[in-house]
Structures are given as C-alpha cells and as structure tokens.
Chains A and B, each alone.
Chain A
C-alpha cells in the first residue's frame, strides 16, 4: 500500500487510485493507415518491467484526474509524478 502524490490533490493513499497500465502509448492519429501488425502493437503490446516503469494512474476516488507515475515495480518506489501531456522529468 504505497502513497501517491496526486499532482492536483497531494499525498494520498494508494486505495484512492486506480492503475491504468503503461504510460506514453499514444493512440495513432490515422488508424486506418496501419497494418494489422502495427495496430496490434498499439492495441496489445505492453511492457511488464521489473524495475523502473512509466505508468498511468487515475485518482479515481478523488479528483478523477489521470496522470503519469514513474515507479520501480521491484520495490514500489515512486520516482516522479507528472501531469498528462507533460514530458517525464529527465533524471
């Protein structure tokens, strides 16, 4: 049970949030021009890293905002939290 710092609300218990999978997977702007393989890559392929991973989280029982989290899946340490559309912090 970790603590997540919502970029809009601050420090909150993990139970207020829901996880939304890997971050920075952009929905293709022109899906019709993609091959089956390319579309399948967007649709199905996700990393499952043991270590530092970029993730989407939603403050479901709070402000309902989506945002990004950089989390080490091996120890749940959160390295950074940043808003949708923002670039991940460089270090």
Chain B
C-alpha cells in the first residue's frame, strides 16, 4: 500500500465514490473528479516517464494542458489504447489502465538513460549533423536505433471501435474559457438577450478562482471562490446560455469559424462507452467571440530544473486546494514574483512545511507580509544553482545573486526538500487569438505578449489579455464586454473587489550559475529535452530567426507545442542577440491548441462513409452474376464476369472474343450525359469541340474532342442532335462533373450572349451497349417496329422509340469497332432493359462484358481513353487525330495553342502502337521506352499507356507515347524491365479492322 498524500477534505471530489485504476500494472485508488495526475500524486507517485533525448526521469509538473512530462498511454494493447494522453487532463474512471511511455524496459530502470551520461555529445542539431552521412547507414542503423529509443507511445494496431460525430453550432456570442472572466462575460452576454455558448475544457467551471481561498481576495465582502461558486450556480438557470464542459477549443480560424472538441466519454469506464459517442467536433460559427483563455505559469530556467518533484507553484496550489493532495512534505517555493506566495500560504495553513527562495530583494505585497507573519522562512536574493535526487528531488543548492543579477556570489547552501514549486511569472494564452490572425504587442513591464489588433469581431478578457489582479480582471472584463455587446448596465457594475497587488517583479530568462553553461542542464523544453545551452549553440552556429532556432533545437516542437518553453527560448535568444524581445516576433501558433485524435477529425466519414459510392441501376444484376467491380471515380463499374473459376485474364479473353464473334453487352450508364438546349446550342458546340457541328443533321451523332485552352486534350465523347436546338453530349465517366462546370464557366463568363442551357442528366438514364455481328438481330427482336437497315438506321445515327411503352433513345455508335447500339432508358427501367437484352440475346450467346474487355476492344481499334493514353500534355496532333481538328473554324477552345512553337514541335511525344517481338510477351503499362541502353544517362523516349493480350489477333498489343513517334514506324525500341529488356517495334496504333468494315457488318 502506498503512502497517502490526500490530507485535506475537498468539496470538489466525490469522496463517496472511490475509484480503482491501474498504473504500470499496479493498482491504485482515487476519487471521482480526480485526474490521473492528482490520483497518482495522492499515492505519492511522481515519476511518470523518461525524457525524449536523454531519458532523464520526469514527473508531473503542471495540472493542465500545458503539461510537458506526464504523458501516458491509456488502455492496454487493445483497440481502445491511446498514446500521448496528458495525465493532468485524463479523468480517472473505474478500471482505467495507464502506463508510462518512452521508457524501456521500465520507468524505474531505463536503458536509454545512458544518453544522459553521453549528453555532451548530443548537442542541438545532433540528429541533423550525425545521421546525414553515410547515407546507407540511415536505414540499417540510425533509423531503427532512433525509433527504439524515441518512441512517444504506441499507436493502436486495431481500428478505433469508438464513435465520433461532427456537429454545427451557430451562436451570437461564443465565450472560450470558464474562469472568472469567462463566467462574467457569458453572464453579461446572455443577460442581454444574446444566444450565448460558454465552453471550458475542464469538468467543472471556475478556473483557478474557484479554489482561491486566500482571505486577501474578496468580492462583495465574500471570499472570491464563494462569490464565484454562487455565480456559477446562477448561470445554470440563465436563458440564452448553453454551457459545454470538457470541451476544448482546437482552432480559431478567420471569420469567427472555430473548431471545438467535446469530450463525452473519456472519463467513463469502458463498459459505459460501448456504442456511445466518444467525442464530438463542433464546427462553430459565432457572430462574436470572447476569449477568456487565461494564463499559464512560467517555469524558471536553472540547472537540473527537470527532476520529478519540480512543479509549477500554482499547480501545487491546485493540487492542495482543489484535489486535497500535497505534493510533498518538505516544500520549497522558488519564485520571482508574489503570486507563488499564495501557494506557500495555502501549504502553511494546512500545516505543511514550506520555505521560499526568492530572486528578488524584497516585496511589499500583503501576501509576502502574510508569509512572513506565518513564520515562513524566505531566502531573498537567492537562486537555485543545482538540484539533487534521481527519481525524485531530494535537495537543492542555493546561492546569493550578485547585484546586477548576472552572477552568483558567496557560498552554496544546501536545502533538503521533496518538492520544489517554481514560478517565473505568467504567460497570457494568446494562441487562439493569433490563430485567428490577431497581431500581438509586447509589454516590457512583465515581459508578456498581448493581443493588439484582431481580424474578426472578438475580444480577449482576463489574464489572456494581461490582467492578473482580480480587481483589474473584473473591472476590465465588465467594461470590455459592455462595449463589445453594446450595453450600458450589467449586474457587475458596482462590485466591490479587493485583492493583493503585484508589487516587485524581476524577470531573468536564464538564471545565473556558479558553473559555466556547458556544465549545467537548464531545461527549457522538457518534452523535447532542449536546454538553454542548445539555444545558444544554435545561435553561435548562425541561426538567427526564432523559427529556425526552434526547428534546429526542436524547442517547442513537442505535443505541448512549447506552451512552457517558447517564452524562455525567445527571451534567451533576445538576450544573446542583444535585441529587444518585442522586435523578435514569436513562433507561429498553429492549430490544434491541444492534439486531436484522428477519430474526431474524420467523425462519421469512415469506412463506407468515407466517400460516396455510385452504382448504376443495373448494379444488382452485375452483383448477382458474380461480376468483379472496379472503381472509376466514385462509380462501381463491372470489371469482368469470371465464370467457373476463370482468372481475370481468362474471363477477359472469353468476353472479348464473344463480343467480336457474336454479341456482347456493356453497362455504359456511368458515362457522363449533359443535356444541351437553346437556340445557340450548335454554335456553342462549335466553340467547345475541335470539329464542326453546324451541319450535323437532326438524328445524327458525332464524336467530339474537347481541349483545354492550352491545346491539350481534356475530354471526348459522342454528342447526338436530338432536335434543331437540342443535343445530348456524352463525356468520360470520370470527367462528367468537370466538363459540366467548365462548360458552365465559358457560358457564364466568356459567352453570356449565347442562348444555351446545360443540365446534367447522367443519373437520369441507364445505358446498355449491345455490340457484335448479332447486335442487329437482338435489337430487331426488341424493337420490331424499327427498321435496322444501313439506309434507315446508319452508323452514327439515333432513333427515338419505345420498349414496352417506355421511351428509349437508341444511338448506333461504337467504341469497340463492332456494329453496335447504345440503348438509353429512364434509370428506373435500366435493369429491366438489361434483362430484356439478355433474354433476346440468349440465342446469340450474348455475353456481358466489363470495363477491362471494353478497354481491350477499343485498344485493338486504337481508340484512346482520355486520362489513360493522355495525361494533360497531349494535343490532338500528338494523338495523330489531326482529322478531328477543324481548319476552317475561326476559333474553338484551345485552337490558338495548337499553333504555339512548343505544340508544333515535331519531336513531341506522340501516340504510337507497339508490338513486342515475342507476340506472347505483354508489356507493363507505365513501362519506360528507350532506344539505347548503353549510353548514360539513358534517354527516356516515352512510356506504355495501354497494353493487352488480344484474343482476336492472338498476340499482345500496346499503345504508347514516344518522342517523335510519328516518324519511328517500323523502328526497333527497347523496354527495359527489372529482370530483362523487351524488344519492341513501333507500329500503327490501329491493330484490328483498320478499314472499319465491321461497323457495317
């Protein structure tokens, strides 16, 4: 049984609700309301982990989100495990399991601790300097070694089983922070009829004022915490006010758009979390924002200031006054200001041994007088020069400071202790303010950055705005809020506030020592193990910008984002460089303020909800007939239909043969379809396609190629003239949405004079494409009233008709080179149409084929697929499609670019066919093509864009883009692969039926 450090009764914990939890496998007890940190401290556990670089023992230092050391793994090895959780924020629950991170084999005995003794050879920039060379050592030696020793927690190896949600919130006023100024602000705002939301990251409101029991702090003649408690109770019944606890603001973007994470379950035991929401991400749009984010205490920077038991003074006060936990039995406060005396007085009142080391000469504060009156020993004008104790602090050594504060004089005094509470003053939390684009100013008197000019409708109140005295906080919060929400009267106008005033303040960023800097370890960034020495070394090596020094030394780059370290780093840089602190700027504060788990960021958009899945109306049929599917954009398209254990290759060979020998059927519903109407529709098509459209007869179809203004092929497809002023355009499956928005862009911005109306009808129609020598016979059976002879229904024409009373559009067009028909019908009849085609085609062995066969068949014919054979750098001329580019038209999109010197170069990459010397060898798509393997560097001539084994030609075929390809027909080229080089010959790219005889077969 561990020692009990819970000495004081406290109203903030539920003493009737005792909770057991495990830390590093050992069972401990705490109470409901405890954080993991307060519960561990109550059991006398200080040592939590090992530091990142030197593996020095580290303990709990703070009581909030700024905690750099007490970072733990929650949960065991299961899917609920989470790394990098701050013990100071994690509330305990029955059955909680937590363990130390970054220590191996255990926190008590850590092998990496050897780094501590070799630390003189780990200077700043060590990783950059050491591991650069030789390069081959990186993979075999350096990286595995660094990974072993630098592990900051374990990622879960199983999917996250918990639920997360996203929600929008709109309000008049958002108040961030539930301390005394936030509570006053929220109350004023709500009283004035504003729809107000107050968020706070803790489980209870009140901030640090709620446990302020010092009699010097009074509001309306009551101790400030008692007054505040009443106000909080009043808030709960206020109209217009929503309070969200356990909700931390992650990001503050421009236009008052904010993201907040509400924690709904992390404080509950696992059995109560099943199938419940864990966290909710609030997307907040607030008309006005009031930031009351408070301030965090600064550490002091001196030799060995990182031992377990060295804590921030105000945190020690919270542990005793809020959680009833004493952090030590022999406490020393080390301070440069008056506020730490509150901690000393609190401890003293509870009968706990405490003394004070103060770098100042004296102070006239009432707090100091109280401390003196209570008989607390104060060592004025002294600084700590060393600390001792490995797993926990055992003693400190202090020395008197020289008059100017730059040195120490006299003899060392040894003071035994088991806790050292340090306070270097206060830093306003301006992170969120600067995230929103706000600019800071520097206040010399207490060396702090403050909000200066803001970009959106917002104010900062309380200590985040530089008010640290209770009377100033209340007076200024009230007056700022009145101004901000335009009201003249509030409940807080005549409050009587009394409090001790901060008197002398002495700021020294790096405290003096009797030893040279090289022999000491004054830590700045506890999480990343960077010291004042590292900063100075970086500056000696020429780094000047704060952003560069930060990255070189990794100061402020831990999961705490340097909440404690950044100000001291800036201070030491400015002192060393001899420039004013205010002129140095700060590092950028980036969202999130505290880390967010991935689950919260993605919310419900996981698994099948990650993206939209589009299915054609015939999808179920494909599924029932064992189709394999491929993703094309968001569409699921039938890829091939394996029969009786066929491989993909076997299925595709069978489908391809059937389509050419008798009949095949393809689901072409995914092709983009745009309905075009208006008196200028023909003129519009003239401008967007490379070929001419005015003379296309009604009922006729035409293939069109669309370019970008830079002359490169953008999309293609067949467009049909349904009527005088009515066309339907088809686009590629993947390009449909982009083509529509491109056409809309031109219509609205360049050619507003055109009377043209575009409507996407992709989803309105289902399309079955029937091809092959027997396609005509199948269509005849389906549509007995239609004439199918070439005179009546020729290739590239269209008929409006009916199938069992349902309207159909039939286009006789072909992407396979076969005689073929595309039947379009209203979507809901798509599956029925397909089934009727299958029935009618049964006697002709109609064979459904997928996208792979479609690609193969069109490759045999040398038809391009935009996006596969083109990549945004191919002109129609490069594709040897000069025939489709009108010379007569004055202009079309991209025309002028075809005459630029670059697009007219003869040696551009051009589309060609490739035949392997060995007809059974199939090239890999993407394979590089060269002429000479010996001459280094090898010149890359191009690459294979499409490659198949053609069952109809009984050999492999490929399309490729090759430099100067047009002039290379018949030439031998090489395709070097990993294990061999393949010999190929450049050929024509139409491999099959080059006279198009089958179209009319």
Contact = CB atoms under 8 A, between A and B. Distances in A.
Nearest to B437: A75
A82 interface: no
Contact of B745 (A20, A43, A76): A20
B896 interface: yes
Interface in B728-781: 741, 744-745, 748-750, 752
B752 A85 contact: yes
A9 interface: no
B890 A1 contact: no
A76 B254 contact: yes
Contacts of A13: 285
Interface string B419-437: 0000000000000000001
B748 A84 contact: yes
A40 B255 contact: no
Interface in A38-87: 39-40, 43, 56, 58, 60, 64-66, 75-77, 84-85
A34 B899 CA distance: 11
Contacts of A76: 254-255, 437
Contacts of A32: 890-891, 895-896, 899
Interface string B883-924: 000000011000111011100000000000000000000000
Contacts of A39: 896-897, 900
Nearest to B711: A43
Contact of B255 (A1, A31, A36, A60): A1
B577 interface: no
B745 A27 contact: no
B750 to A, nearest CB: 5
A60 B741 contact: yes
Contact of B254 (A36, A75, A84, A85): A75
A66 B745 contact: yes
B174 to A, nearest CB: 15
Contacts of B748: 65-66, 84
Given A36-B900, A76-B254, A27 B750 contact: yes
A39 B710 CA distance: 10
B741 A34 contact: no
A5 to B, nearest CB: 12
B741 A31 contact: no
Contacts of B744: 64, 66
Nearest to A38: B896
A17 to B, nearest CB: 12
Interface string B688-728: 00000000000000000000011000000000000000000
B255 A2 contact: yes
Interface residues of A, number: 27
B803 interface: no
B253 interface: yes
Contacts of B710: 43
B257 interface: yes
Contacts of A34: 896
A13 B170 CA distance: 12
Q: Which range holds the interface residue count of chain B?
A: 20 to 34
A87 B373 CA distance: 77
Contacts of B900: 36, 39-40
B752 A84 contact: yes
A36 B898 CA distance: 11
Contacts of B253: 1
A64 B759 CA distance: 12
B255 A58 contact: no
Nearest to A78: B255
A84 B744 CA distance: 13
A83 B465 CA distance: 42
A26 to B, nearest CB: 8
B648 to A, nearest CB: 38
A9 B455 CA distance: 25
Interface in A6-41: 13, 20, 26-28, 30-32, 34, 36, 39-40
A40 B896 CA distance: 10
B707 to A, nearest CB: 12
A3 B255 contact: yes
Nearest to B253: A1
Contacts of B254: 1-2, 75-76
Contacts of A58: 741, 745
Contacts of B896: 28, 31-32, 34, 39
A76 B437 CA distance: 10
Contact of A43 (B709, B741, B752, B891): B709
Interface string B118-160: 0000000000000000000000000000000000000000000
B399 to A, nearest CB: 50
B257 A1 contact: yes
Contacts of B255: 1-3, 76
A27 B748 CA distance: 13
Contacts of A60: 741
Nearest to B259: A1
A31 B745 contact: no
A75 B254 CA distance: 8
A56 B709 contact: no
A36 B900 CA distance: 6
A26 B745 CA distance: 13
A20 B744 CA distance: 12
B268 to A, nearest CB: 32
Nearest to B710: A43
B683 to A, nearest CB: 15
Contact of B749 (A2, A36, A56): A56
Most chain A beta carbons < 10 A, residue from B745, B896, B899, B901: B896
A36 B750 CA distance: 21
A75 B455 contact: yes
Nearest to B255: A2
Most chain A beta carbons < 10 A, residue from B254, B285, B749, B899: B749
Given A56-B749, A75-B254, A75-B455, 14 more contacts: A3-B255, A3-B285, A20-B745, A30-B891, A31-B891, A31-B896, A36-B900, A36-B901, A64-B744, A65-B748, A66-B745, A66-B748, A66-B749, A84-B748
What are the 8 tightest A-B residue pairs by CB atom distance, in nearest-first order? A31-B896, A1-B257, A2-B255, A66-B748, A76-B254, A27-B750, A1-B253, A3-B255
24 contacts: A1-B254, A2-B255, A3-B255, A3-B285, A13-B285, A20-B745, A27-B709, A28-B896, A31-B891, A31-B895, A31-B896, A32-B891, A32-B895, A32-B899, A36-B900, A39-B896, A43-B710, A66-B744, A66-B748, A75-B254, A75-B437, A76-B437, A84-B748, A84-B752
